[in-house]
Structure 1
Amino acid sequence: MTASAAPTVARSAPELVPPAGPTPGGTLPLSSIDKTAAVRVSVDFVQVFPPAAGAAVGDQGAAVAAMRDGFARALVPYYPVAGRIADASPGEPVVECTGQGVWFVEAAASCALADVNNLERPLLIPKDELLPRPPPEEKLEDLIVMAQVTKFTCGGFAVGICFSHLVFDGQGAAQFLKAAGEMARGLPAPSVAPVWDRDAIPDPPKLPRGPPPSFTAFSFVTQVVDIPPESIARIKDEFGAATGQTCSTFDAVTAVVFKCRALAAGLPDDAEVRLGFAASTRHLLQGVLPSVEGYYGNCVYPVGITRTSKAIREAPLPEVIGVMRGAKEALTARFTDWMHGGAKEDHYNVPLDYGTVTVSDWSRVGFNEVDYGFGEPGYVFTVNDHVNIVASVIYLKPPTPKRGIRLMLRCVEEPHAAAFADELAKYE
């Protein structure tokens, strides 16, 4: 590609990859957590695979064929994924095990990964050219998984994945993709046997939701910040010195973001600032599910923190970390109450104003450990630039060989972006 030529992506028409063998039919229910925690939306992300050592560009076709075969073979044990989401009754989604398969798109970019800065932000290839989309007769919200593999002239790949949050949480989607990778690499069966069993999850009485939340369209600025391991260690040491306790990387970094945003957002002293995140509850479903390890449905429960803007601005960082830890420690009791129908309030209903920020940790769910036959990705990033109703923070692993945590931030609007960046820079 010449220096002046804009990169282009040539895509084949989407093709269905059906299961490689016979699969059961019928209808399967979704769990109460699937239907409560998730909405019928698709989650998009991209895995970036640098050229494998010793691999030739001419080997790319065979690698893609093996990947496609891996999906076909994985769809036999994961047969619900080859189906479609349907409505058993209004507001009651189910999975129809139709065996149709998943949509798969092959594409070729006109450039090397290095020519587009290895797909770091700002993207030099439009995100829509890296993501799979079905043919027009298919409804996107009915599909469970789609994949697009884009070949680059250097021998590297980008794999765009679109999955239904109604059927998977992040860990569940990663479990399926790891299985597809294992099948692509010739393993006879997935190393983790899949478990559906959505009906084993309790279905407590529905709490009154109250009025629907009001939506404000904000104009959040996308910012990317890397917090190196040295800074994380320093924050943990500061917390340990103040309290005699240890804290996780998630506690340390989330407290930093919460405090920095409160300092930068320009909210009045008495304004509420809220932080919310979905905590994994897999460990709390031992004995409820036949096997927690292979379960690939939603296993999350919301954790929330509410304080005044002044309280978070003025609190020492170890104190904010302590607030984080306290909220997480309350999870067991709150989730158990919810499962047994004892919850008194709907924790899924959060005010969507400028005071609220949500955090998603993608750094540990497993997308960075998927190997379709051309090694593990050097970088995985989510594509969420269109979300403007609530401030969001996504934790990613920074591109190899960097370590630490990469923050993909859509937290503040333009008037507060410089101040927010300045506060975060103290921890970079």
Structure 2
Amino acid sequence: MPIVTTEHIFHVGDDMVNDAPKEHDGGNKVAVVTSATTTVAPPLPLQEHLLPLSNLDLLLPPLDVSVFFCYADPAPTAAVLKEALAKTLVAYYPLAGEVVANGDGEPELLCNGRGVDFTEARVEGAALRELRLGLVDEGVEMLVPSKKAGVMSVQFTRFRCGGAVVGCTFDHRVCDAYSFNMFLVAWAAAARGSSAPPAPSFRRSLVAPRDPPPRAPSTDALVEHLFCPRSAVPPPPASAAGGGSINRIYRIAAADIAALKAAAGPGRTRLEAFTAHLWQLCSRAASSPRQPCCMGVVVDGRTRMFPDGAMKAYFGNVLTIPYGVVGSDELGGMDLPDVADDVHRWVAEAATGEHFRELVDWVAALRPEPAVARAYLGGTGGPEAMACIVSSGVSFPVGKADFGTGPPAFASYHFPWPGETGYVMPMPSARGDGDWVVYVHVTREFAKVIEEEPTVFQALETSYVFG
């Protein structure tokens, strides 16, 4: 692609990443100058072919997800990143392809070696530590690429201090976070000159429908409870205009995570306790005492479908989204252990190999009509519900995102998807001390409640990120 130059403006604080999670109240304007966009393709020839998306891939709408890494000086260089990316795309060739429509209008992968768009940019007049990372809407989105073509894109942004940000955006229909994590680890290993991790698997037979299915897919109550055809989705109510959603990044101390887990009761996981706490906060943000509050959790099905590890290297989507709905007044009166018990119950119902196989069969019977997860629609609470989804990234191997100059000083997801259903994505802090970094996309009312909550969610300060 030809060299181009564009400029974007965002704000930085004088000495803080996030002095308080609130509306922007000033700060300096800084230019992000894009100097070049090239296409990085795998160096080996590839026989062009089509790779069908699996039935589980087809449950995902056309949404892009981003992740970004901040590196203090010395940071990796664009040349090293591009060379390693080209090598890694040999094994991860679907990321170098394109999503096209088949004769039925369904998406599928054209594996043609097109390559990955790689944008180089620089920030003039600011150091990396001046970024107010917690206030995402002030300009963090300038540091992740907006994917215009292909499956994946990368942006490398250099700062005057010698630090840099590596941002990646990928098509969620092609893979989930688990899959993209595998790619990131392999890419970083190639940059370091380390031995390559195990190659990814694209065996669609692992998630193929049963022939014949043991029973009619339409009779599976759990699948029908969690998913529905898109044609059955009602239009949003006229009153759903709202004040729009905002994006924030917070941190949670390891001690507070442990305290939540203990308070949730014996046998409850950290994620179940966190989800229960967030659900209670949701009730405080409700517009009325009777408004339904829908909370969902993204569940990975790899080990559920194949406990023997046959899907450990599988590249694609293997997700379901169970949820619960409780009225805000009832939810607000419940103790944390009772809420955590409810979360555990509906997560456990869906976290089985049989559920995932029935989900695959159900999509096969529905095709080519697309489907959607009901949790995004408020579940049984309907479009009037306040809805939020938790997608866990707590197994994200942040320390392995070392491109030869050391691990990142900070990393986070970035997913400001269109819609007012909340999306919350915790991941380990790059400090490696057990803390969490939590990306939050929620309504302004929900964000206000989170920021008024005094013990768990904390502002993201410069001293925390860069010392």
TM-score (norm 2): 0.77
- State how 1:24-35 maps to structure 2 within 5 Å: 24-35=47-58
Q: Give me the whole-angstrom Cα distance separating, in 1, the residues matched to 2:403 and 2:208.
A: 35
**Matching residue of 1:421:** 451
Map 1:304-343 onto structure 2 (within 5 A).
304-331=323-350, 332=352, 333-339=354-360, 341=362
Q: Is the 8 A contact 1:358 1:392 kept in 2?
A: yes
Change (3 A) 1:427 1:184: closer
2:373 to 325, 344, 348: 348
Q: Is the 8 A contact 1:147 1:160 kept in 2?
A: yes
Q: Does residue 296 of structure 1 match 2:315?
A: yes
Distance in 2 (CA, whole Å) between partners of 1:132 and 1:421 is 28
Aligned CA distance change for structure 1 residues 336 and 98 (closer, same or farther; 3 Å): closer
C-alpha contact (below 8 Å) 1:81/1:145 kept by paired residues: yes
| Unmatched segments (≥5 aa) in structure 1 | 135-139
Tell me the distance in 2 between the aligned counterparts of 1:159 and 1:328.
34
Q: Cα 1:304–1:128, aligned 2, differ >3 Å: closer, same or farther?
A: closer
Amino acid at match of 1:72: A
1:99 alignment partner in structure 2: 113
Write the distance in 1 (CA, Å) between the matches of 2:405 and 2:430: 17
Provide the rounded CA distance (Å) in 2 between the counterparts of 1:128 and 1:308: 34
Residue in 2 aligned with 1:358? 389
For 2:359 and 2:28, locate their aligned partners in 1 and report how far apart those are by CA, in whole Å: 56
> What TM-score do the two structures reach when normalised by structure 1?
0.83
**Is 2:145 the partner of 1:132?**
yes
For 2:339 and 2:34, how far apart are their aligned partners in 1? 48
Provide the rounded CA distance (Å) in 2 between the counterparts of 1:390 and 1:22: 43
Give the C-alpha shift of residue 166 in structure 1: 0.8
Maintained 8 Å contact 1:393/1:408: yes
Q: Structure 1 stretch 398-407 or stretch 101-110: which is displaced more?
A: 398-407
Instruction: Find the residue that maps to 1:48 and give its secondary structure.
Output: strand
Superposition deviation, residue 223 in structure 1: 4.7
| Correspondence for 1:137 | none
The corresponding residue for 2:102 is: 88
Deviates more, 1:40-49 or 1:70-79: 40-49
Deviates further, 373-382 or 216-225 = 216-225
Specify whether residues 272 and 116 from structure 1 end up closer, same or farther in structure 2 by C-alpha distance, changes over 3 A only: closer
2:115–2:150 Cα contact (<8 Å) kept: no
Q: Deviations over 1:73-97 (max 9, x none)?
A: 0111122222111112233211111
Aligned-partner SS, 1:75 = helix
CA offsets 1:330-351 (integer angstroms, 9 cap, x no match): 1215334334559999882342
1:130-173 deviation line (CA, Å, top 9, x unaligned): 23346xxxxx3x52111111112222110111101011101111
Instruction: Give the letter for the 2:337 counterpart.
Output: P
Q: Choose which of 29, 33, 39 in structure 2 pairs with 1:6.
A: 29
Change (3 A) 1:77 1:186: same
Tell me by how many angstroms 1:248 deviates. 1.4
Equivalent runs, 1:208-223 vs 2, <5 Å: 209=229, 210-215=231-236, 216-218=240-242, 219-223=244-248
> What's the offset of the Cα at 1:259?
0.6
Indicate whether 1:407 and 2:414 are aligned. Answer: no
Residue type at the aligned position of 2:279: F
CA RMSD, 1 decimal:
3.1
Match of 2:428, as an amino acid?
A: K
Give matches, 1:41-60, under 5 Å: 41-52=63-74
1:347/1:385 Cα in 2 relative to 1: closer, same or farther (>3 Å)?
A: closer
For residues 27 and 358 of structure 1, do their structure 2 counterparts lie closer, same or farther at Cα, with a shift above 3 Å needed?
A: same
The residue type equivalent to 1:237 in the other structure is A
Do the aligned partners of 1:275 and 1:306 also contact (CA within 8 Å) in 2?
Answer: yes
Residue 199 of structure 1: CA displacement? 4.1
**Alignment correspondent of 2:263:** 238
* C-alpha distance in 1 between matches for 2:434 and 2:87: 34
The match for 1:15 among 38, 56, 75 is 38
Over 3 Å counting, the alpha-carbon distance change for 1:70 and 1:303 in structure 2 is: same
Question: Hey, what's the Cα distance between the residues in 2 that align with 1:419 and 1:267?
Answer: 14
Q: Which amino acid aligns with 1:194?
A: P
Tell me the SS of whatever aligns to 1:89: coil
Identity %: 23
How many residues are treated as equivalent by the alignment?
402
Residues 181 and 410 (structure 1), Cα distance of their counterparts in 2 relative to 1, 3 Å cut:
closer
On the 8 A contact 1:42/1:162 being kept in 2, the answer is yes
Partner SS state of residue 7, structure 1 = strand
Give the aligned partner of residue 209 of structure 2: 203
Relative to 1, partners in 2 of residues 1:309 and 1:337: Cα closer, same or farther, differing over 3 Å? same
Q: Within the alignment, does 1:191 sit opposite 2:191 as a pair?
A: no
Q: Paired residue for 1:371, among 382, 396, 402?
A: 402
**1:402 & 1:388 partners in 2: Cα distance?**
34
CA-to-partner distance for each residue in 1:102-132, whole Å, 9 max, x for gaps? 1111122223212324x342565x3453233
Deviations 1:261-318 (A, max 9, x none): 213324333x3221112101110232799x4121110011111112222221111101
Instruction: Name the aligned partner's letter for residue 262 of structure 2.
Output: D
Q: SS at 2:39's partner residue? A: strand
- Residue type of the partner of 2:404? G
Match of 1:164 in 2: 171
Name the stretch that deviates more: 313-322 or 333-342: 333-342
Stretch moving more, 387-396 or 291-300: 387-396
